[in-house]
Chains A and B, each alone.
Chain A
């Protein structure tokens, strides 16, 4: 398991034998390429665009009525009234609403695509409780027709995660929702990787059924701790190698371990945790687990019981991604309340997110957020659309480590924009035009901007 130890010992031996001479010849430094499948994404053809007279929800908690939004060179350039721009195409959005592009932090599009045939069921490497070595991006089928359906719902950015059977499910990847022949062509440039972890029923059911650890929740915790302990050693070994090399020695590099590379990435603060975790007591332990091993416990996904520990989540800087109303399919999903997201959001420094985990509801995250807002307002809250939109824009971007780039309509941010035919929190609301980096990727009233996957071409 700890493959690097023998070689370290070897390295130490050889160093002592050669007498540790300063003049020793150094081998080439062993470097790890952290971005071996780089993004090739390029914005679609675009023009500068001036959207006029809309109701704008900025994603930062603000609402501006009768506002204009100017997009220049793929970035938000200006928001205000009576804007003019000589070289921009004008869109009259009287009566329409504008929001940042919608972000889903939890999707399996491409890895569990439509049609759901065995040949494409690539979302969960259910062969070991720790598969930190797998990367969801290597399973993405870019021709999943679900990407198009999601685009028609205003989704511009989405994180594709591995499934939840394993304690460590592997790396997630964040994509731009644009058509491409390759995964790399969709990959969000410079977005941090995510690591999918899973609490609770799924890992213990899947592996308990095979009579291997974990078969209990304490087995889950033991599994995480053993892995982090090993990753800590791995990180130490590399740091020692780097330090020795820097000191002019010629150390033997630790044996490369693809699984531990990912965990080390978390310990180094480069990879963000995305943790499938429903229950209050489990989320609280996962927060402590992060402290035990010096990493941040990240975003809790499907946090059905997040409302029970809303203060703890905010104090520790954890985002919680939730559904408005899914429940009862498992014991750990039994204590759902419609106001979950609102209760989490109400705490200072909180980060409440509405997510889908569904090829279907990803098409209506606006409605999912709307359900929360209205139910909460029936029960003592006074949530306005300008706040509710943050659950599917700014807070989601924060969870993905992309808040500097997308998730809000602010000068200099990527021009990821949705024009809605009305208040997006209506059951009748529809996205009319969707822009990614200032380029129109969808238009409900212009077939030219309605992409069709290779799979459906010629048969629908």
Chain B
């Protein structure tokens, strides 16, 4: 625990030093339609000032900034937050030496952030979708614990890992070999044993005159203890309602910070999930009964869960390279009953809240991850006009644009000479 906390704060210190060097400039975005995703709602003709990587003012009395950008009424939103993918851990899915998201031996302590590659070509490409940061999820190995998530921004800079080891991934439900019951049982036993061990250690520490005798918990135990202390979220992939209910019970017993992923059949128990305040991270377009665990998958689930009071976060399932499509998923959720505001929250604030990330809203003091859109952010016809990550404007140009430009040019020399 102590070790982990130290690690976190040192990261923040690192981030602060680098940001104070690179962004001394202040930027004011004026005349924007600002979707704050806070109680302030939508602000028309508004001004947002950013400096040192943070939002420093919204609608100040007077605007003083090094750079002033007239948004001409366009929509400004928080940067969208991706999740549940392997961004920066995979360049080409089928090229084994470009993959670092899994390892047979990976366990609950697996920290894939060490392999994060901010130079991956998927990162600038994903910025086209207005994605400014992302919760990267390792795929682990044989253990039901797949490792720990980390949060990275999409600046492409070498310091873009913002938080590592911030949540624990567990994969539950239908199994090709064996029974789902054993995993649930094992999970419960793990928490029970750890609780007992903690109580024992506490008692021992009180009783023992020589404190040196108290044994330090194993690295694995430390992670379990962090889950029990609520310092880390337990992010559970599960679809069938019975699995979700079993997890809700564990949450109740052990006061876990629980997040559901997938949760195809969650609509059957939406009220219970809302009551337990467990966010659901789901793919809005998953509407086929892919397995007997997901018979209730539907395009309307995002809207139904939201209406029941569940905090829904949207993710793009499947290949990491599709992350940029997140905004279209949100649009489809709107077409199927979700309100526009709820859809925007589902790709910003709700993701941030589920993973305890300090972005996803436009408010003073928040990380300045912002996107200015040509028009409706969810529409196929719109595009990112400008995008800022950590207060710094970045480009949406990617190697795909270079390839297109090369092949759209006429030349009497081979295309390879066009650069």
Contacts and interface: CB of A to CB of B under 8 A. Distances in A.
Interface of A: 114-117, 145-146, 149, 201, 307-308, 325-331, 334-339, 343, 359-360, 363-364, 367, 370-371, 374, 378-380, 425-430, 455-456, 459-460
B148 to A, nearest CB: 25
Contacts of B10: none
Contacts of A378: 383
Nearest to B294: A115
Given A328-B92, A427-B332, A360 B296 contact: no
Contacts of B400: 327, 336-338
Given A327-B321, A379-B404, A427-B379, A459 B291 contact: no
Given A115-B290, A328-B93, A370-B380, A427 B335 contact: yes
Interface string B248-292: 000000000000000000000000000000000000011111111
Nearest to A368: B380
Interface of B: 91-95, 121-122, 285-292, 294-296, 319-322, 324-325, 328, 331-332, 334-335, 378-381, 383, 400-401, 403-404, 407-408, 415
A331 B94 contact: yes
A307 B286 CA distance: 31
Contact of B93 (A149, A308, A330, A380): A330
A339 B128 CA distance: 14
Nearest to A428: B335
A302 to B, nearest CB: 14
Contacts of A335: 403
A145 B288 contact: yes
B399 to A, nearest CB: 9
Given A325-B322, A326-B321, A427-B332, A115 B291 contact: yes
A149 B287 contact: yes
B379 A330 contact: no
Contact of A427 (B92, B294, B378, B401): B378
Contacts of A343: 404, 407-408
Contacts of B319: 326, 328-329
Given A331-B94, A426-B380, A114 B289 contact: yes
A455 B322 contact: no
Contacts of B325: 325
A334 B92 contact: yes
A24 B414 CA distance: 66
A117 B291 contact: yes
B285 A360 contact: yes
B343 to A, nearest CB: 11
Nearest to B317: A360
A337 B331 contact: no
Contact of B328 (A114, A329, A367, A456): A367
Given A325-B325, A335-B403, A360 B288 contact: yes
A460 B298 CA distance: 10
A66 to B, nearest CB: 23
Nearest to B399: A335
A459 B378 CA distance: 33
Contacts of A364: 285, 332
12 contacts: A308-B407, A327-B400, A328-B319, A330-B93, A330-B94, A339-B404, A364-B285, A367-B328, A367-B380, A426-B381, A456-B289, A456-B295
